[in-house]
Structure 1
Amino acid sequence: MGKPIIYGTDLSPAVRSVLLTAHAIGLDYEFREISLQKNEHKTEEYLKKNPQHTIPTLEDDGKCIWDSHAIITYLVGKYAKDDSLYPKDLYKRAVVDQRLHFESSVLSPRMSRMFTFGPSNKDPQALESAKTAILEAYDFLEKFIGSNQYFAGDSLTVADFSILATFSTVINFVPAEQGKFPKISSWLDRLTKLPYYQKANGEGLEKISAFIKKMSS
């Protein structure tokens, strides 16, 4: 059996959430770059693996899984040494799942909307509305942490990886001021100190941050 293969680009927060999980569990994997600009996600070969032509896609033992949330929970279930990143306890798992669904249905779509405000779209009212929606999402995140250290309790889970990859991207558009959001600011500082943070999230984040800066200028 060969190594699990992760298809994608580290410009994508969803891909980076998978890389964070893979590094956290010490997974020996192969990464295959998929260029969206070159439409490599729409080739016949790729569509056989993932008919939705999204990234990331995981190929493991001849089987393919797509959607970052499905991938990260699968990887923990199959390869992690314990269940701390995705607990088997039903209540704890439900909390993690809720945070994952929040990332996919609230935080990520609100971030994606910001990418529409390029040189050809300078609607100030729409832009202000989009920024307000992101600040509302930050407020939810601040409440989710509460008195805990992480988003699903006092230990690191895949919910943190999923939110981290997106949150660290979206703050390029709308900063989360420490005075207004001290808990998520402390959480972000804590996660940037993970030994695998730079490799799994930081490198790709630097690339997309440069793109956002250029797009916004």
Structure 2
Amino acid sequence: MYGHERIHAVHRLLSDYLQSPSLRHLRDPRSIDGLTRKIIQAIDHEPSVWRKWEGEREALLRGAAECWIPVEDLRQFLNSLPGPALTITDVAQRLRAIHEEAYSAYPDERLREGCLELYARETEEGTELPAIVGALQEYVEQERERLRLMAEARRRQILQEEKEALEQRFLAGADCKWTSIGGSRALYIRKNGRSYRLSPTKDKRWDLFRIQDVDDPGARVGTYGSRGDANKVLSKLAYEAEPRW
């Protein structure tokens, strides 16, 4: 490929990419990875064993690779583009090869039903396949973000429930791991039936106290540079004989 052809190829790919109306899509790392791969393929093209996939056929199939589209419908449309006749196996196996490339992925099974419903609706309305592919890409992007936010919210909920359960264990007198009580900066733990408080200092160290309950000022055991250091001491201290405070 000559220099001017390389420039034209990169310019065309960037222009096509910037046509997306979605800023989220433009900034999405997976979309950027896909654009990077297309640019590299365009400027450093080597002969491929896939001889039926030059030009727009390859671009369209890659755009559809992470969506759910009936393979037979893809084959029929691709055969309307310039190039040798494609069989169903040609299309299915080229898709598989694309899915197994670095930075690529198989379609998300959770989005299958939604993709197929959107595809059927747009097909019935007479939308041409390249436009349907674009609509499906936007749908997949939006649904992935929705699912990510749902998973993050669920994770936060689980962490909050675990935190509340730890607080209740401590207040009930059971052994438990480190936990704050009522949003305190200090952390509390009960180990081998003994209660301790770890309080942050102004110089970003930690004071460890042996206590009887949450309101007890306690007896200071020592000051440590990190929670890990305090844990090492506590792993032995909680099982050693101790004076009566």
| Higher RCO (C-alpha under 8 Å, 6+ residues apart) | 1
Considering fraction of residues, name the structure with more strand. 2
**TM-score, length-scaled by structure 1:** 0.25
Larger Rg computed on CA atoms: 2
**TM-score, length-scaled by structure 2:** 0.23
